[in-house]
Structure 1
Amino acid sequence: MSSGKSYRPGPNNHRTKFGINIQNHNQDNRAMSSSKKFFGHIGNAVQSYQAALRVLKPVKYTAVNSVVLKETNKKQYHPDRELQKHIEDYLTAFGERSKLAHTESDLKLNQKIEALSPSNASDKELIQKITANHIPKVRLLPGTPSWAEFTKVLKSIQSRNTICMSIDIEAWEKNPSIVTEIGISIWDPRVEDGKYSISGPTFQNHHILIDQSLPLRNTQFMPDHKYQYLLGKSKVMDIRHCQAFIQGLIDKYMVPDPNESQTLGYQRAFVGHGFASDLKWLKTLQLRISDDIPIFDTMKFFQSIYGSTGSGLGKALRLLQIPHAYMHNAGNDAYYTLRLLLHMCDIEKRKLLALDDIERIQNIIEGWRSHDSGNSSGKSKRRKKLVSTEFQGVAPFSSLP
């Protein structure tokens, strides 16, 4: 999971941070696992983790033996026709607004650059700069692959017919092949919150600390929030028991019961924010994960609408006004990611926060970017280590909408 400007060690991270060439630094990190020696309790932890990983074998599938879950598996999904019409009407209206905004945006951009000549070197550079800074940039248009993905995810969540498992991984920054924390948050729409409940959907949350890597702390590039889990007690597990525990959750929630009728209608999906790296780490634990299970990546979902700027988890939570703290704790981030997905796919929430006004949202994000980068729009007060909460800031009362 990526949270924006912070550096997260990983195989495909080629950015520059604090004057460090991250690509070269990653190569050093990968080499570190085999060449650099760690001593004392750190060295013992590294050796213990690597030794345990070498003998790890996939866990065999075990059938669900929970009576409650067996009954839940029998629950059939019944489409709500009124809700389906509500979703289709919303998507039709949003699609029309997007096409209109795209046309108007292109017209405004052409007006900005019509007096410039692409054949002139200085004009060409200016055209590129104007185009890059132009707002709004409308990317989500009916008929495009991104629109198809957007509608699929929104329909799945808004229709409440998809069981979601959000997963976040934290790895040790000095050797990214070593997993230190695993966070899991599950939303099962088959489980009803009660007829009179008004607090929203109930999630099942887990935060796992791997015993072998417990002494390994991130202090250079990340805030160290390993012990600041906000949703219950963290579970310290031997890597083998950790593997069995996670595989059990995957088998229960992501693998349909062999006896379950295909007509029951409930789908499954993994959820993550920049999930590709998390998936690679999960597979190092020899977990059985089917390639047929869809992935709802909230970072890609956000970027398809608003662009890559501000698509880190912290900024997205800030935009959707979701309270959060102690990020880069895997358990917290898994929960925040799932909560973010539900907010972004909630039609009424989208209307309330005017999330479909692309120009307005991109201007807000650009204002944050300008402030946080420390240019003339405002001096940055962010520390080198990423803060764990994104704040909205302050404004004179007379300037508030």
Structure 2
Amino acid sequence: MTNVKYYKEYIILRKETIYFKEKMDDIKRNSYILPSFIHSYGTKVDEITCKKVKRLQFNINLIDRLKKEVSSTKKFFAFDTEAYEHEQEKLTEFGWSTFNNNGKIYSECHYIVDEYYNLRNHDNVPDNKDNYLFGKSKRLPLREIEKILKEEIKKVDIIIGQGIHNDIKYLKDLGININEFRYIDGESFYSGGKAIIDTTDLYAGYYLDKPSSLENGLIKCNIPHEKMHNAGNDAHYTMKYVIYFINNMDITKEKYQRLLRLKVPSYIGPCKYYIIKLNILLI
């Protein structure tokens, strides 16, 4: 009986190994089409490669789904904050733009935190606190801005931003409830639900290139911009950025289709494009 048990276990493991190798072979055969930020040509294709391919496939589809599946009644919320460069926990500005996937803008605003008005950045980023270009800045105490922001968050469906994880952390630190929203990190996306999306994923899916800074991305998209590092301006440009990807995405192009055809084992989940590779023994 013991030998039979071990034999059955061996057969199961053998089948899984063969299945894995077959799927890996598909990636290996087509590794020459992989973008260099996913896999360096001539290097070994491994599980990390597969994870990155899976995330890229998801992001390609994500842009197309934002375009075709999300109702125009759903509100996107491009959100940005600015912090004092020498004390990052001190938020000095808030900005947001509310819009839909057709580019209709519902509202845009820029708030300056009154108690930190005199804290000025200049060592690492420019000081554009007083240079909002899309309306009139409002200078209010932090608590008042928080109240306004809490009410705005209740009205929107998709929070979106550049490096949005940092901004979401700030929201949580301020006690703003975002439990209804789900991070879209390379796995499932329900077009009827509430979501948090990072524009770096949209950039990677559209350009098949490593995630870029907002300013470099705007340059590549030929979107005019100025006075960056003002939270209101950055939120406005983030909105323009998102609409650019949605309007210009054509998933039928062969450069996307050949990547979407790649077969990745279903039990392998996506990972970030940048991860530290450890010495992991793979079967």
Structures share fold, TM-score greater than 0.5: yes
Which residue of structure 2 lines up, in the alignment, with residue 211 of structure 1?
A: 114
Which residue of structure 1 lines up, in the alignment, with residue 66 of structure 2?
A: 153
In structure 2, runs of 5+ residues without a counterpart are 1-26, 44-48, 182-193, 257-283
CA contact (8 A) 1:170 1:179 kept: yes
Q: Distance in 1 between matches of 2:107 and 2:32?
A: 48
- Higher strand proportion, which one? 2
Q: Which of the residues 179, 188, 208 maps onto 1:290?
A: 179
CA contact (8 A) 1:270 1:295 kept: yes
Q: Deviations over 1:167-224 (max 9, x none)?
A: 10111110100000101100157xx9xxxxxxx6234101000011111011111011
Q: Distance in 2 between matches of 1:145 and 1:247?
A: 30
Q: Distance in 1 between matches of 2:85 and 2:172?
A: 19
Which residue of structure 2 lines up, in the alignment, with residue 176 of structure 1?
A: 88
The 5 Å alignment of 1:1-400 reads 106-107=31-32, 130-131=41-42, 144-156=57-69, 159-188=71-100, 201-251=104-154, 253-254=155-156, 268-292=157-181, 293-307=194-208, 309=210, 311-346=212-247, 349-350=248-249
Q: Distance in 1 between matches of 2:255 and 2:222?
A: 17
Tell me the CA shift for residue 357 of structure 1.
7.5
Q: Deviations over 1:54-90 (max 9, x none)?
A: xxxxxxxxxxxxxxxxxxxxxxxxxxxxxxxxxxxxx
CA contact (8 A) 1:229 1:331 kept: yes
Tell me the CA shift for residue 155 of structure 1.
2.7
CA contact (8 A) 1:169 1:179 kept: yes
Q: Distance in 2 between matches of 1:328 and 1:356?
A: 35
Q: Distance in 2 between matches of 1:287 and 1:280?
A: 10
In structure 1, runs of 5+ residues without a counterpart are 1-101, 110-127, 193-199, 255-267, 360-401
TM score, norm. by length of structure 1: 0.45
Tell me the CA shift for residue 130 of structure 1.
4.8
Aligned to 1:226, what secondary structure does the other structure show?
coil
CA contact (8 A) 2:79 2:95 kept: yes
Percent identity reads 27
Q: Distance in 2 between matches of 1:329 and 1:223?
A: 9
Aligned to 1:177, what secondary structure does the other structure show?
strand
Q: Deviations over 1:244-264 (max 9, x none)?
A: 11112122x12xxxxxxxxxx
Aligned to 2:118, what secondary structure does the other structure show?
coil
Instruction: Quickly say closer, same or farther: Cα 1:308–1:143, change in 2 above 3 A.
Output: closer
Aligned amino acid, residue 31 of structure 2: D
Tell me the CA shift for residue 104 of structure 1.
9.4
Q: Which has the higher contact order (CA 8 A, sep 6+)?
A: 2
Aligned amino acid, residue 187 of structure 1: F
Q: Distance in 1 between matches of 2:93 and 2:252?
A: 33
CA RMSD of aligned residues (A): 3.5
